[in-house]
């Protein structure tokens, strides 16, 4: 049987793409090398921040607005809590990347962001210990996505729209015949399709080896701490946060369950030579960096690491996603180099992948295409 479309990889991007392709009316198959909703790639660890005043580039703002609506629609469809509004406090030096970037995006797109002095931050959230001279920016329409529930809901919705899933099958290679039909050799047999969406996350360069992509895979450690405060709980109104410090960018979430408060470093991390062999043991250096951040930026008397989980960023050379058609094969598209900030955009990225296969392209995605960039 020849499918209309195959999606290679069912992490975050692939699950969303599977749904978008099935909703488009294509007979769609998703192939995943592990089980579905697994913890071996980039789409696990309880939470992901969703925000709109985007410090990385103002052109993400219209995509973020659209993504908010899409997540809320999926939440209604699946009757599952997916997205929670907590607000987001971003802090840093006045001339830093985060503060300057958030202000530029807010100004360009007319977004409301409250500017706070360190004293105003403490008045509002006494758990924080901002350094003098820092600027706080509070964005109210921001919060977190429940990452595993999002992936599960995307897959459930894809199945309802008619998609088929083959799990525990690794795609070893693919070929395109003269008539354009694509054959994928997997560990569980051969599958064929008219179109292919590659959503292989950290494995993208392995799957698209002929493309000479320059992505770097970086190990990231998500860590959960218990601290002796109650006002850092979600139900007590604590926000998500992202701080640019002299040691790097760190971010965290309110405590949403007994695991405690999740904290991680956005910068740093060690290169991963083989994503399949990711070191999943606690990295003491990463732990100490987060502890140092917590000690310097939050008020508490006791803290204890209760859990950690290794994950991977796939960095593109410029830190922006690469979403485009394969340069040599018209009926193959891909999204890669999600650079540690792609989750919030999944539904809109998925739509763009399907549109590219439909010979349409939304100009809002032009800044994320390959041309003119060092992919």
Ligand X SMILES: Cc1cc2nc3c(=O)[nH]c(=O)nc-3n(C[C@H](O)[C@H](O)[C@H](O)COP(=O)(O)OP(=O)(O)OC[C@H]3O[C@@H](n4cnc5c(N)ncnc54)[C@H](O)[C@@H]3O)c2cc1C
Please report how close the Cβ of residue 285 comes to ligand X at its closest, in angstroms.
16
Q: How many CA atoms lie within 13 A of 286 on its CB side?
A: 25
311 is catalytic: yes
Q: Is 52 in the site for ligand X (CB under 6 A)?
A: no
Cβ nearer to ligand X, comparing 118 with 248: 248
Q: Quick one: which segment of 42-50, 98-106, 128-136, 226-234 binds ligand X (CB under 6 A)?
A: 42-50
Q: Is 224 in the site for ligand X (CB under 6 A)?
A: no
Q: Is 199 in the site for ligand X (CB under 6 A)?
A: yes
In the list 222, 223, 316, 351, the residue contacting ligand X (rule: CB under 6 A) is 222
233 is catalytic: no
* Distance of alpha carbon 308 from alpha carbon 323, whole angstroms: 31
Question: Which of positions 293-332 make contact with ligand X (CB under 6 A)?
Answer: 311-313
Nearest-10 crossing angle of helices 61-78, 147-160: 70
Please report how close the Cβ of residue 171 comes to ligand X at its closest, in angstroms.
4
CA dihedral 37, 369, 339, 348 (to 10 degrees): -40
Question: Which of positions 248-277 make contact with ligand X (CB under 6 A)?
Answer: 264
344 is catalytic: yes
Give which of 10, 32, 11, 6 is closest to 166, Cα–Cα.
32
Q: Is 200 in the site for ligand X (CB under 6 A)?
A: yes
Q: Is 229 in the site for ligand X (CB under 6 A)?
A: no
Q: Is 101 in the site for ligand X (CB under 6 A)?
A: no
Please report how close the Cβ of residue 201 comes to ligand X at its closest, in angstroms.
2
48 is catalytic: yes
Q: Quick one: which segment of 69-77, 115-123, 158-166, 199-207 binds ligand X (CB under 6 A)?
A: 199-207
In the list 74, 103, 197, 207, the residue contacting ligand X (rule: CB under 6 A) is 207
Q: Which of 28, 47, 52, 204 is catalytic?
A: 47
Cβ nearer to ligand X, comparing 126 with 257: 257
Residues facing residue 310 across a β-bridge: 221
Please report how close the Cβ of residue 127 comes to ligand X at its closest, in angstroms.
20
Q: Is 158 in the site for ligand X (CB under 6 A)?
A: no
Please report how close the Cβ of residue 222 comes to ligand X at its closest, in angstroms.
5
Cβ nearer to ligand X, comparing 9 with 130: 9
Q: Is 333 in the site for ligand X (CB under 6 A)?
A: no
Please report how close the Cβ of residue 228 comes to ligand X at its closest, in angstroms.
25
Please report how close the Cβ of residue 12 comes to ligand X at its closest, in angstroms.
3
Q: Is 61 in the site for ligand X (CB under 6 A)?
A: no
262 is catalytic: yes
Q: Which of 232, 311, 320, 325 is catalytic?
A: 311
26: which 2 tokens?
């294509």
In the list 34, 181, 185, 287, the residue contacting ligand X (rule: CB under 6 A) is 34
Cβ nearer to ligand X, comparing 89 with 264: 264
240 is catalytic: no
CA dihedral 205, 208, 212, 214 (to 10 degrees): -30
State how far the alpha carbon of 374 is from the alpha carbons of 197, 202, 318, 360, 368, in Å. 21, 18, 8, 23, 11
Binding stretches for ligand X (CB under 6 A): 8-14, 31-34, 41-43, 45, 48-49, 170-171, 199-203, 207, 220, 222, 264, 311-313, 338, 340-344
Q: Which residues are catalytic?
A: 44, 47-48, 262, 266, 311, 344
């Amino acid at each position: 049987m020849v499918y209309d479309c195959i999606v290679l990889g069912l992490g975050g991007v692939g699950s969303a793409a599977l749904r978008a392709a099935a909703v488009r009316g294509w007979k769609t198959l998703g192939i995943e090398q592990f089980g579905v909703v697994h913890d071996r790639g980039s789409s696990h660890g309880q939470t992901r921040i969703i925000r709109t005043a985007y410090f990385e580039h103002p052109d993400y703002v219209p995509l973020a607005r659209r993504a908010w609506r899409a997540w809320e629609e999926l939440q209604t469809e699946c009757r599952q809590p997916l997205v929670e509004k907590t607000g987001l406090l971003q802090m840093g030096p006045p001339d830093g990347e985060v503060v300057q970037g958030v202000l530029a995006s807010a100004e360009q797109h007319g977004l409301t962001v409250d500017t706070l002095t360190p004293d105003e931050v403490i008045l509002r959230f006494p758990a924080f210990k901002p350094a003098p001279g820092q600027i706080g920016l509070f964005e109210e329409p921001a919060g977190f996505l429940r990452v595993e529930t999002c992936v599960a809901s995307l897959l459930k919705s894809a199945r309802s729209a008619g998609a088929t899933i083959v799990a525990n099958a690794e795609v070893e290679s693919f070929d395109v015949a003269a008539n354009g039909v694509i054959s994928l050799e997997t560990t569980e047999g051969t599958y064929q399709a008219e179109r292919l969406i590659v959503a292989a996350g950290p494995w993208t360069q392995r799957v698209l080896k002929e493309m000479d992509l320059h992505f770097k895979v970086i190990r990231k450690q998500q860590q959960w701490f218990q601290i002796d405060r109650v006002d850092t709980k979600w139900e007590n109104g604590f926000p998500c946060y992202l701080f640019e410090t002299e040691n790097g960018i760190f971010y965290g979430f309110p405590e949403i369950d007994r695991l405690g408060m999740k904290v991680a470093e956005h910068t740093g991390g060690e290169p991963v030579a083989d994503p399949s062999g990711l070191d999943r043991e606690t990295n003491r250096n990463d732990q100490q960096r987060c502890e140092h951040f917590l000690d310097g930026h939050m008020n508490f008397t006791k803290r204890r690491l209760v859990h950690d989980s290794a994950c991977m960023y796939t960095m593109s050379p410029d830190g922006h996603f690469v979403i485009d058609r394969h340069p040599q094969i018209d009926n193959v598209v891909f999204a890669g180099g999600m650079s540690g900030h792609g989750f919030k955009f999944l539904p809109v990225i998925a739509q763009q992948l399907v549109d590219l296969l439909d010979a349409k392209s939304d100009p809002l995605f032009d800044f994320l295409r390959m041309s003119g960039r060092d992919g």
